[in-house]
Structure 1
Amino acid sequence: MSGNHLFQQLRKKWRFVALALTAAAISFIVGALMPGNQQGSNNPATARVQVQNLNQFLTVNPSAKQVADDRTAFNVDRTVEKLLTVLESKEKLLTFVPPEQFQATTVFEGKVKNSEKVIALTVDDGPWPETTEQMLDIFQQNDVKATFFWIGKSIENSPEIARRVVARGHAIGNHTWHHWYDPMDAATAADEIDRTAKLIYETTGVKTTFFRPPGGVLNNGLAKYAKQQNYAVVMWSVTSADTDPRAQPSAFVNNVLKGAKPGAIVLMHDGGGDRSRTVKALPEMIAGLKKQGYRFVTIPELLEIQGQSAA
């Protein structure tokens, strides 16, 4: 066998090995990104790393890159392109940014047409053991998406629950690290919001510029800093009053059903204490709103609808 022929045979075998390794890498990433795969759905940051690893593999292995570039040999480049498209879609879903006209503003309700019977349920102070999970089940059973405003320390205590909320498709907002009400200097306000934003991203892959000040206090430095960072400061127009220690769950339901109107933002809580009464009230609250003809939207969706209505 001539040296040239032997070289050609070895070259073909190496191309086959490179192809197999590339296919294996892609198969691994596809498995991680496909719907229903817990790793892919609960930790998108991992999926991003996997795609980066594949690109690095193709870069440092010239033969594999040659195969990837050869559409007739193996359509690696197109597959990677599709994977990146899926990844970009996941990234968009995990980034909650208000429309430009709502950035650096305070929102109390969505200004929509009366015929647009949409309402946004918001949940503060979690994620919280048991309560958040129970509410997630109720939301899923009723095909409802809500907006959760998280406290940094609560995420620190219950990261798995936080990931579960995101995996279920709910929107996320920032509710500071400590839930302090008192006036604070600019550095403290920045730390309260930035530290929480960092942990939200590190835990769930979510980036959000929706903010709710603890207790709805707008003059203690937090809202000012949030607006400087182009957050939308989200308040509420209807409260369930579920922090009232003397009230029965039926009172929470009545408060919401009486106060409901198109574009309303409803306040309730899943954390900060025993919220079992809120959990008990939630199914009846949802049923009553549906009976009134309401459709449930997240805060990002509500502001998109308002923006479209104004156009």
Structure 2
Amino acid sequence: MVSRRAVLRTALAGAAGIAAGAYGARELPHWLGLDDLPVAGGYAAAADVLDAVHHAGVAVHYYVETTEPLVAFTFDDGPSPHWTPMVLDALDAADVPATFFMVGDRLRRNADLVRGRMDRHAIGNHSWNHDDLATLDLNGVLESLGRTQDEIERQFGRPVTLLRPPFGHIGGSTMLAADKLGYDVVLWSKAMREKMFHDDPMGQAKDIIDSVRPGSILLAHDEGDDRRLVTIQGLATMFDGLRKRGFRMVTVPELIAAGSSPRSAKQ
């Protein structure tokens, strides 16, 4: 038997649908309060929420403008016992440096996987629990990034100067936190297309080899499910093919230093 409450819910949902059709989908954000952005302290925070702004702006890198045939491989979400050792083995075998954007809690739990193996590689901050930073206020972003920074410095004894927000999502609070912590924000210009090449590692490799241009920042992952294998199995072919095209693989800080970015790379 259908309750009167269930009937009422259905009627209300139907009425909402009719209203949306009558007034247009653009009215819904207003009804829900989503157009009232939290400029004074939420995820869309402006600079007036800080006692002092450290810089006039934050550098955001999708790629680097350079004429040198350089490319940077980046790996997100680890370290993980599933794929991180395989990625490091492939990098070591080809003598290729890379940049790892690490999740703090995973580093805390899996530090033994990477201890002693990161000297040639750069390390960046990827939040504490793969948090969607674009939905957090400034204090929430600072807490997530701060815990991760502390863990990276504790494990590797080096400063952290790069941030990649999970999912590439950026809110105003993320930019303010990056400013406060002195980070450059690093996104990407080309991602591995693992769904498209699920059973074709050589196709994935060819896609990367053919599409890279000087200054490209490539997105890959060293944590996840079995679909990551299509990338990992193709890494050696990617490295070899890019070298045959005359490319040299570098870390993100090295790539930034070689480019015409308004902010020089940090060491």
Counterpart of 1:159 (choices 92, 98, 111) is: 111
Q: Which amino acid aligns with 2:78?
A: G
Q: Following TM superposition, by how much is the alpha carbon of 1:199 offset from its aligned partner in structure 2, in angstroms? A: 0.4
Aligned residues: 208
Counterpart of 1:267 (choices 203, 216, 219) is: 219
Structure 1 residues 162 and 310: alpha-carbon distance in aligned structure 2, compared to 1, 3 A threshold:
closer
Corresponding residue SS for 1:221: helix
Q: Following TM superposition, by how much is the alpha carbon of 1:102 offset from its aligned partner in structure 2, in angstroms? A: 11
Q: Following TM superposition, by how much is the alpha carbon of 1:105 offset from its aligned partner in structure 2, in angstroms? A: 1.0
Q: Is 1:305 aligned with 2:251? A: no
Q: Residue in 1 aligned with 2:77?
A: 125
- Relative to the length of structure 1, the TM-score reads 0.61
Give the whole-Å Cα distance in 2 for the aligned partners of 1:175 and 1:224. 16
Q: Which amino acid aligns with 1:282?
A: L
Structure 1 residues 103 and 241: alpha-carbon distance in aligned structure 2, compared to 1, 3 A threshold:
farther
Counterpart of 2:236 (choices 279, 283, 292) is: 283
Give the whole-Å Cα distance in 1 for the aligned partners of 2:237 and 2:62. 24
- Relative to the length of structure 2, the TM-score reads 0.71
| Residue range with higher mean Cα deviation, 249-258 or 127-136 | 249-258
What RMSD in Å do the two structures reach over aligned CA positions? 2.6
Counterpart of 1:111 (choices 59, 65, 79) is: 65
Give the whole-Å Cα distance in 2 for the aligned partners of 1:297 and 1:103. 26
Structure 1 residues 204 and 122: alpha-carbon distance in aligned structure 2, compared to 1, 3 A threshold:
same
Q: Following TM superposition, by how much is the alpha carbon of 1:214 offset from its aligned partner in structure 2, in angstroms? A: 0.5
Structure 1 residues 192 and 310: alpha-carbon distance in aligned structure 2, compared to 1, 3 A threshold:
closer
**Greater than 4 Å deviation, 4+ residue runs:** 243-247, 307-311
Give the whole-Å Cα distance in 2 for the aligned partners of 1:217 and 1:255. 25
Corresponding residue SS for 1:164: coil
Q: Following TM superposition, by how much is the alpha carbon of 1:248 offset from its aligned partner in structure 2, in angstroms? A: 3.4
Structure 2, unpaired ranges of 5+? 1-54
Relative contact order (alpha carbons < 8 A, sep ≥ 6): 1 or 2 greater?
Answer: 2
Q: Identity percentage over the alignment? A: 32
Tell me if structure 1 keeps the 8 A contact 2:59–2:263.
no
Structure 1 residues 137 and 228: alpha-carbon distance in aligned structure 2, compared to 1, 3 A threshold:
same
Structure 1 residues 127 and 243: alpha-carbon distance in aligned structure 2, compared to 1, 3 A threshold:
farther
Give the whole-Å Cα distance in 2 for the aligned partners of 1:122 and 1:161. 18
Q: Which has the higher helix share?
A: 1
Q: Following TM superposition, by how much is the alpha carbon of 1:250 offset from its aligned partner in structure 2, in angstroms? A: 3.2
Structure 1, unpaired ranges of 5+? 1-100
Equivalent runs, 1:140-289 vs 2, <5 Å: 140-167=92-119, 169-181=120-132, 183-219=135-171, 221-242=173-194, 246=198, 248-274=200-226, 275-289=228-242
Between structure 1 and structure 2, the one with the greater Rg is 1
For residues 30-68 of structure 1, give each alpha carbon's deviation from its aligned partner in whole angstroms, at most 9, with x where no partner exists: xxxxxxxxxxxxxxxxxxxxxxxxxxxxxxxxxxxxxxx
Tell me if structure 1 keeps the 8 A contact 2:205–2:231.
no
For residues 249-301 of structure 1, give each alpha carbon's deviation from its aligned partner in whole angstroms, at most 9, with x where no partner exists: 23432331232000111110011333322211111111111111100110111
